[in-house]
Structure 1
Amino acid sequence: MNALTKMILKIFSSPKIDMQESYKSVRKFQELMATPQKENYRILDHKIYSEDLTHEIPVRIFHPEEKISDELVLFFHGGGWVTGSIDTYTRDCIQLADELGRTILAVDYLKAPENPFPAGFEDCYRVTDVLINQPELSGITGATELILMGNSAGGNLAAAVSLRLRNEGKLLPKKQILINPVTFWNHDERSPFPSVEENGYDYGLTNKKMQEYMEMYEPEEAARQSPYISPIMTDDFSNQPETLIITSEFDPLRDEGEAYGHLLKDAGNKVRIFRAQDTVHNYIFGPLTTDIVTKSYHLMKGFLDNSLKGSDSLGKKEKNQAEELGSTR
């Protein structure tokens, strides 16, 4: 990582930044920087009613330039359950659709702190459940299989949705892709994961920010230990979708994401875990396209195409490690 990048990340890691005070400003900045939605036959807005019919859940459908599969990728965006929207992720979803050759459906779930847990989770679960188990209610046709994908808080939501579908005896997604997922409830000095301390101060996403996001999402600490907030706290890791987990070398969430993957694997699920070297949290959806970002898209496409090389299980000596996704160094 070059010196300029380190300097910029350190500025955005300032302990003076308080997300609980600044989240509205962050939202406004993200909206200002968002790619305007163009009138395009490849982009379609749609809505699905919440289960209790109290509100509509906006979704945005992105069709690829060249479709290679009828699989539908259901995408939950990141932002600490507090920021981000289908508008701020439009550019990323267009690229996802084109890189993966599949239709992307992004969910604009309710955000904390105005709508704390379980509001956003219920929205994501409702859309997934309708698409898999009650497709006639969605008004969306043409998909043969559903893939769950999420980054950061979105990866957390995807993992939690898969657990609940299993717990309720419902049909599951075919596969899931979890990018830098949040899987544990605590990110201060009590965390058992070394990456929280190693990477929690100077790389953009800090452990302080994660704690603030968590407190906005679920104010009660005891409640954060629910598997639907902290998937790694579940008692049963079995019968989950085939999973790809991508983590970042300099991400405080690195170790908890990889640990969740190993627990899934130990329970008999098919899991691949890759660590992107010389990267920080949310690098795939950052402002720059680099060689490692391109490799990450190829990795995701290979996973969906069933063309990834190598064993689905890591060797005994590598049990607690991840496969490396090479850096540009």
Structure 2
Amino acid sequence: MSINQAMLAALRAISYADPDVSKNYKLMREVKTLTGRRVLKSPYQTLNHEIARCGHTIPVRLFAPGDSFLEKPRGLLLFFHGGGWVTGNIDSYDKVCSSMAKATGQLVLSVDYRLAPEHKFPAGLEDCYCVARELFCGRGVPGIKPEQITLIGDSAGGNLAAAVSLMARDRGEFLPRRQILLYPATASDHSEKSPFPSVRTNGTDYLLTSRRVQEYMDLYKSSDADLTSPYFAPLLANDLSSQPKTLIITAEYDPLRDEGEAYGRALSGAGVETKIVRLASAIHGFIALPPRFVHVKRAYAQINEFLEQGVRV
């Protein structure tokens, strides 16, 4: 399956007008927030809260899978949003999280972690870790047990989910059982020197460009030393043992495709139960499309199958 010519021409036109993230990230945040918010009142319930155990407050938003929090959920998805660690936020992913709760029948807890460049690596990651620790240590959502929690993130959020899992193993405070990584960023080099062909073949014409990924990372890093940290680029980890059961979903026309799949193979090679699914004809960021779109339906079919299988003992 391939993208039709009219769609490809439109994507190329949008990609060609690729703004300099370092100069326009504040405007990009505003645009994402406006387009990500629900226009109509949703029949699904949300609850805003703050986590205040990490030296500062971290806003979170809980989405119910139905019209009431009184209904017993199947579990909880701890969601880390995308946006290159720079432009996404809890409001810009409002529609995504509402749809995710409905599609999975699970509670979704979205984390409004601190953004770069105002707060560089590892600030946002530490926020995500802090919220995860609260949940897994039983100080989060009443009625939700640690084994019912799944980490999930898209793009930069997939990077953060993978990094939280690595950090949790290394610090020994808790250990997630499942993680779902949607088209995750796992490497630190998206230049022409990248070992991954998708950085070049999909790096100019499909909305997210390789140049933009590199600009996001330049804003996210505190120094060049971060580029070699597995918490910055999980694929660099020397040891991927004791990681959660993992589902990785990639998009055919995405510059991050190959590194996401390489991370899945590396996890599998370390003995971690891992499934890699590439969605044909999909582009980066497809999970933000309306639920009726075929790639969104296919992604949630894979996610629900993964969640229903549980963890092998």
Specify the alignment match of 1:4 in structure 2. Answer: 6
1:183 maps to a residue whose letter is T
Shift of 1:190: 1.4
CA-based RMSD = 2.0
User: How many residues align structurally?
Assistant: 304
SS at match of 2:10: helix
Shift of 1:68: 7.0
SS at match of 1:80: coil
SS at match of 2:253: coil
Specify the alignment match of 2:120 in structure 1. Answer: 116
Do the aligned partners of 1:117 and 1:218 also contact (CA within 8 Å) in 2?
Answer: yes
Do the aligned partners of 2:58 and 2:127 also contact (CA within 8 Å) in 1?
Answer: yes
- Runs (5+) with no aligned partner, structure 2: none
1:303 maps to a residue whose letter is F
Shift of 1:38: 4.3
Identical pairs, percent:
45
Greater mean alpha carbon deviation, residues 266-275 or residues 165-174: 165-174
After superposition, what is the alpha-carbon deviation per residue over 1:42-76, rounded to whole angstroms, capped at 9, x for unaligned?
A: 2100110142x2x2100000010286744211000
SS at match of 1:149: strand
1:150 maps to a residue whose letter is G
Specify the alignment match of 1:142 in structure 2. Answer: 143
Do the aligned partners of 2:81 and 2:88 also contact (CA within 8 Å) in 1?
Answer: yes
Do the aligned partners of 1:203 and 1:280 also contact (CA within 8 Å) in 2?
Answer: yes
SS at match of 1:201: coil
Shift of 1:220: 2.3
Do the aligned partners of 2:44 and 2:63 also contact (CA within 8 Å) in 1?
Answer: no
2:77 maps to a residue whose letter is V
Return the match for 1:90 from 79, 90, 94: 94
After superposition, what is the alpha-carbon deviation per residue over 1:208-254, rounded to whole angstroms, capped at 9, x for unaligned?
A: 00000000000523322200010011110100110000001010000
Distance 2:23 2:251 in 1: 27
Distance 1:8 1:115 in 2: 34
Specify the alignment match of 2:131 in structure 1. Answer: 127
Do structure 1's residue 71 and structure 2's residue 75 form an aligned pair?
yes
Distance 1:191 1:42 in 2: 43
Do the aligned partners of 1:72 and 1:102 also contact (CA within 8 Å) in 2?
Answer: yes
After superposition, what is the alpha-carbon deviation per residue over 1:253-304, rounded to whole angstroms, capped at 9, x for unaligned?
A: 0000000001100111100000000011011213573222211111101100
SS at match of 1:84: coil
Specify the alignment match of 1:164 in structure 2. Answer: 167
Distance 1:39 1:31 in 2: 17
Shift of 1:105: 0.3
TM-score, normalised by the number of residues in structure 1: 0.88
Distance 2:249 2:53 in 1: 30
Specify the alignment match of 2:57 in structure 1. Answer: 56
* Aligned pairs for 1:177-326 within 5 A: 177-287=180-290, 289-306=292-309
Do the aligned partners of 1:35 and 1:88 also contact (CA within 8 Å) in 2?
Answer: no
Distance 1:289 1:13 in 2: 24
Do the aligned partners of 1:15 and 1:208 also contact (CA within 8 Å) in 2?
Answer: no
- Runs (5+) with no aligned partner, structure 1: 313-329
Do the aligned partners of 1:70 and 1:142 also contact (CA within 8 Å) in 2?
Answer: no
After superposition, what is the alpha-carbon deviation per residue over 1:163-221, rounded to whole angstroms, capped at 9, x for unaligned?
A: 00001123211210000000001100111111101100100111100000000000523
Distance 2:193 2:205 in 1: 19
TM-score, normalised by the number of residues in structure 2: 0.92
SS at match of 1:240: coil
Shift of 1:40: 6.4
* Aligned pairs for 1:34-53 within 5 A: 34-36=37-39, 38=41, 42-51=45-54, 53=55
Do the aligned partners of 2:289 and 2:296 also contact (CA within 8 Å) in 1?
Answer: no
1:81 maps to a residue whose letter is W
SS at match of 1:47: strand
Distance 2:121 2:253 in 1: 28
Distance 1:63 1:276 in 2: 27
